[in-house]
Each structure stands twice: as C-alpha cells, then as structure tokens.
C-alpha cells in the first residue's frame, strides 16, 4: 500500500540565506512533530529514503515530494519502524527494522519481507527486539543483525544473518548484541556491540574496545576509519564518547573530538573529497575538513539540534533527519572555504572547449546559488537535440560533456536557463 503524506510535506518559504562559512543553512522538506527519523539513505538513482517510526518514506525531486511506501499497516508488529537501509549494485534495496528485513526490486515502490520479525514474549515489555542493521556488498552478499528472544523465555541475544543471493536465503549465527557494522579494509564484516567492542564476524576477533557503543562507521577516501559512539537502539539513556579514528586499518584508535559540542554521535557521513559530517543527539550537525582533527557546527535553520541521521546526494546536498522532520542543506557543504566571496558572482555559461569539436566537447557553467538548471542543445533550426541538465544544482562551478556521435557536422546552440537567467552560446561539430 502506498499513500501520499500530504500533512508531512511543507515547502520551505522565506528561510534566510546564510553562508555555510557562518554555520550553514537548512530548509525543510518534510516535517511532522511526531515524525522521528531513524535513518536516511540515498539510492543510486538519487531517490532519498527515510526510515522513521511510522515506516519508510520515499523522496523524489531532492526531497520535494515524499510518499509512504512501507507502513506499519503493511506489516503486522509493534509500532516501531525502519532503522537501516542498503542497496545492491543491481538496484535491489533492503530495509531493516523491528518488523523484519524487507526487500524492494522496483526502486522502493513495493516491498516484501525476506526475514521475519523476531517473536516477542510478553514478559519482555518494551525491550527492543528487531533488526539493528543491514548491509549489501558488491558481491550480492547481504548482512543483517538482530536482537531477539533466544535461550529461554524472557531472555534475549544477538544474531548475525548472511545471504549470498540478494536476500533470497539466509544463514545465521550467534553474535554479541550487534548495533551497526561496516566492511573492513580487507573485505570482511566488522560489527559493533552494545558494550563498545568492534568484532570481526569472520574470525570472531576483537578489533577494538571503545568503552561506548559504536552507532556509526565511516571510511574516508584516504582509508581512515571513523567510529561514532552514542546510544544503541532501544537505549533511552547514556552518552557517547565522541568519534574515534583509525589510520592503520583498525590496529589503533584515537579520539578526535576537538570542536564537537556533543559527544553522543548518532550518524556519520563522508564526501568523496574526504569532508566528514557528524550528527549528534543534542548538538546538531558538525563538519570536519581536516580528517577529523577539528569539527565545526553547521546548524543555522535547524529547529532542533537532535539530529539522528545524515545522507549526502550526488549533487552535494545533505539531508538531516531530526526529531521534528527532514531537512536539506540549501547548498553543498563539502569544502571549508565556502563563503560568498568564493562563489561565482552571477549565472554564467562559458564557451565550450574544444570548439570546433569531434566527437565530444565540455560545457561549463557557474551558479552563485542553488537553482533549478536546464542546459539544452539545439540544432541550427532550433530543434532540441539533447537536454544535458534538468534539475536542482548546488552553487558553484559545473561542467558536462556533450557527445556528438551520430550527429551531422554543423552549428549547434546550447542554452542555459537558471535563476531566471537565460544564456545561449554557439558550437561547431566538425567531422
């Protein structure tokens, strides 16, 4: 069952624009005082998914349109929703939560259960039972973990699950109350437990003991591994010990908390250029551009500093899940020198290079602010040949390659429309 959540969606109107160098700016994409976001995930096609206490939301148009695609009425169980999401290379999606592990083969439109929810004994009360994480590997392997009743009435234990065929079949083994996991530098699964231990699932070897539950992992392009500590699922008290970093494949770990206003971490994210983001329970979002050596808050526009999830899009926007809804950055926040002076002064369409060209040429354009962009190529008669860009893009400089294979030699026009400005230039395909 799918239904649009019209009450959740509010377009941001009149939000003040603020330089990210002054702390960052956020705008609302979906809000409800009862909506508690547990996880955020950006699929390969740009679709954004939000796991909440009410089920799973699917967002398109960079969060401008949200639909409930997996609700508590679809799957029987206690009123707790989705905690983690993953995607296989072929596009299949997995979602894990109290009600089991579910799979979608159609970009998140419909879902089926591939691992059922754990059986709950009445004597366990409000104790958490369910799946805490799910991972999808490039080899089509999948990993999941649960806390479930085992070993007798009113007793619980952890369990690790593994599938080698995109979630069709699963094997399992006992584990020490798993919280979250990551793929290690050598390709094995590392998982953390509620005591703060990081354990290799293959050998059962203790990798590290950080004395606080690890709730999020991130790996930088340079190979540094970051572990954020905080409250595990179902724990309503306690604090984290901040962020730990390993630069030697997990041999040693050191705290990197300078500048953090809150050390109870809820999520971590990393840009391709190495910029790190950390969500905290009471301190909002922090950014590090020096490999974790220092952190700086970027919270302007967030109505709540209880941030529970982060996700970065290919365009460079960041989504933040809070206890008051879902917010999106108004621009990319990957670099430290993001002040107004560093931005282009206006909307600019540059000459393509090379020109004349055969078979390809690069077209560059610049935006002083985030804007809806349309970049289109026309032939000499004004007929549309190809639309190169059509959608929201962040402020800064951009480039796109136009391929001329299959087109006749001649003069072509390319037109940029953005921010109410239209610019057109000419290029020549010469074969």
Mean pLDDT of the chain: 83
> In 3D, which of 183, 220, 228, 230 has the Cα closest to residue 202?
183
- Nearby residues of 27 by Cβ (< 8 Å), 6 or more positions away: 12, 15, 301, 327, 328, 329, 330
Q: Compute the distance between CA of residue 410 and CA of residue 406 in angstroms, rounded to an integer.
A: 12
pLDDT number for residue 15: 27
Predicted confidence at residue 300, as pLDDT, reads: 79
State yes or no: pLDDT of 22 exceeds 60: no
285-297: per-residue pLDDT in tens? Answer: 999 988 999 999 9
| Contact of 390 with 400, CB cutoff 8 Å | no
CA–CA separation, 56 and 326 (whole Å): 13
Percent of the chain scored above 70 by pLDDT? 84
pLDDT band at 278 (very low <50, low <70, confident <90, very high): very high
pLDDT for residue 153: 63
Q: Which stretch of 86-100, 270-284, 391-405 has the lowest confidence by average pLDDT?
A: 391-405
More confident residue, 362 or 157: 362
**pLDDT above 90 as % of the chain:** 52
Query: How many other C-beta atoms can be found within 10 angstroms of the C-beta atom of residue 147?
Result: 25
Task: State which of 114-123, 169-178, 283-292, 409-418 shows the largest mean pLDDT.
Answer: 409-418
**What pLDDT does 73 receive?**
56
> Residue 236: CB partners within 8 Å, gap ≥ 6?
none
Tell me the backbone φ, ψ of residue 122, rounded to 5 degrees.
Answer: -60, -25
CATH topology of domain 343-429: Immunoglobulin-like (2.60.40)
Strand duo 100-104 + 130-136: pairing = unpaired
Mean pLDDT of 203-212: 88
Give the per-residue pLDDT at 66: 87
pLDDT at 4: 34
CA Rg, the chain, in Å? 23
Q: Mean of the pLDDT values across residues 369-398?
A: 88
- Pairing status of strand 214-219 against strand 225-229: antiparallel
Residue linked to tokens 């059922």: 116
Distance CA 111, CA 102 (A): 6
Cα 208 from Cα 81, distance rounded (Å) = 30
Q: What ranges in 107-232 are assigned the alpha helix state H?
A: none
More confident residue, 188 or 362: 362
Sheet holding 410-418, edge to edge: 384-393, 371-379, 410-418, 421-429
Q: How confident is the model at residue 12 (pLDDT cuts 50, 70, 90)?
A: very low
By residue count, the chain amounts to 431
Phi/psi at 327 (5° precision): -125, 155
Q: Which of 42-51, 133-142, 143-152, 219-228 has the lowest mean pLDDT?
A: 143-152
Average pLDDT, stretch 141-164?
A: 82
What pLDDT shows up at residue 5? 34
Mean pLDDT score, 404-424? 95
Is pLDDT above 90 for 63? no
| Predicted structure pTM score | 0.73
Q: Do 382 and 390 form a contact (C-beta atoms < 8 A)?
A: no
Label residue 177 left, alpha or beta by phi (over 0 means left) and psi (-120 to 50 means alpha).
left
In the numeric block, which tokens belong to residue 316?
């460079």
Question: What's residue 27's pLDDT?
Answer: 76
Average pLDDT over every residue of 135-160: 82
Rounded CA separation 342/83 (Å): 38
Q: What is the mean predicted confidence (pLDDT) over 267-274? A: 89
Contact 116, 98 (CB under 8 A): no
Determine the straight-line distance between the first and last CA of the chain, rounded to whole angstroms: 54
382 confidence band (pLDDT: 50, 70, 90) = very high
CATH class given for the domain over 3-337: mainly beta
Domain ranges for the chain: 3-337, 343-429
- Which tens digit of pLDDT belongs to each residue from 339-364? 444 567 889 999 999 999 999 999 99
- Using the predicted structure, report yes or no on whether residue 134 has a pLDDT greater than 90: yes
Q: What confidence score (pLDDT) does residue 202 get?
A: 76
Cβ pair 359, 333 in contact under 8 A:
no
Residue 123: pLDDT band by 50, 70, 90 thresholds?
A: low
Residue 420 has pLDDT above 60, yes or no: yes
- The pLDDT value recorded for residue 8 is 38
Lowest mean pLDDT among 12-26, 89-103, 108-122, 408-422: 12-26
Least confident of 119-128, 367-376, 380-389: 119-128
DSSP 17: P
Highest-confidence segment of 12-16, 194-198, 302-306: 194-198
């Amino acid at each position: 069952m799918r239904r649009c959540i019209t009450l959740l969606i509010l377009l941001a109107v009149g939000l003040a624009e603020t330089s990210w160098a002054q702390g960052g700016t956020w705008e609302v994409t979906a809000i409800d005082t009862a909506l508690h976001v547990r996880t955020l995930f950006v699929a390969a096609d740009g679709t954004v998914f939000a796991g909440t206490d009410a089920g799973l939301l699917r967002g398109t148009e960079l969060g401008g349109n949200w639909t409930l695609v997996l609700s508590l009425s679809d799957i029987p169980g206690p009123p707790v929703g989705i905690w983690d999401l993953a995607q296989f290379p072929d596009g299949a999606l997995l979602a894990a939560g109290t009600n089991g592990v579910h799979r979608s083969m159609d970009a998140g439109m419909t879902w089926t259960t591939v691992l059922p929810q754990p059986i709950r004994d009445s004597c366990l009360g409000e104790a958490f039972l369910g799946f805490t994480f799910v991972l999808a590997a490039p080899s089509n392997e999948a990993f999941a973990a649960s806390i479930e009743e085992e070993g007798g009435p009113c007793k619980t234990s952890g369990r690790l699950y593994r599938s080698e065929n995109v979630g069709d079949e699963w094997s399992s083994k006992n584990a020490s109350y798993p919280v979250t996991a990551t793929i290690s530098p050598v390709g094995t699964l590392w998982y953390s437990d509620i005591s703060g231990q990081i354990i290799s699932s293959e050998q059962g070897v203790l990798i590290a003991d950080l004395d606080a539950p690890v709730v999020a992992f991130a790996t930088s392009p340079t190979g540094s591994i970051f572990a954020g500590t905080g409250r595990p699922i179902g724990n309503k008290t306690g604090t984290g010990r901040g962020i730990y970093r390993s630069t030697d494949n997990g041999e040693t770990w050191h705290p990197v908390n300078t500048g953090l206003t809150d050390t109870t971490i809820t999520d971590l994210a990393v840009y391709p250029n190495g910029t790190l983001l950390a969500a905290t329970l009471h301190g909002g979002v922090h950014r590090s551009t020096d490999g974790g050596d220092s952190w700086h808050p970027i919270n302007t526009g967030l109505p709540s500093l209880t941030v529970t999830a982060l996700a970065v899009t290919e365009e460079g926007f960041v989504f933040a899940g809070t206890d008051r809804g879902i917010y999106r950055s108004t621009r990319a926040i990957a670099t430290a020198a993001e002040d107004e002076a560093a931005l282009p002064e206006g909307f600019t369409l540059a000459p393509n290079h090379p020109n004349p060209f055969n078979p390809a040429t690069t077209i560059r354009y610049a935006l002083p602010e985030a804007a809806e962009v349309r970049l289109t190529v026309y032939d000499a008669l004004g007929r549309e040949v190809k639309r190169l860009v059509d959608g929201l893009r962040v402020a800064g400089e951009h480039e796109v390659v136009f391929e001329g294979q299959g087109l006749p030699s001649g003069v072509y026009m390319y037109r940029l429309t953005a921010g109410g400005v239209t610019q057109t230039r000419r290029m020549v395909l010469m074969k």
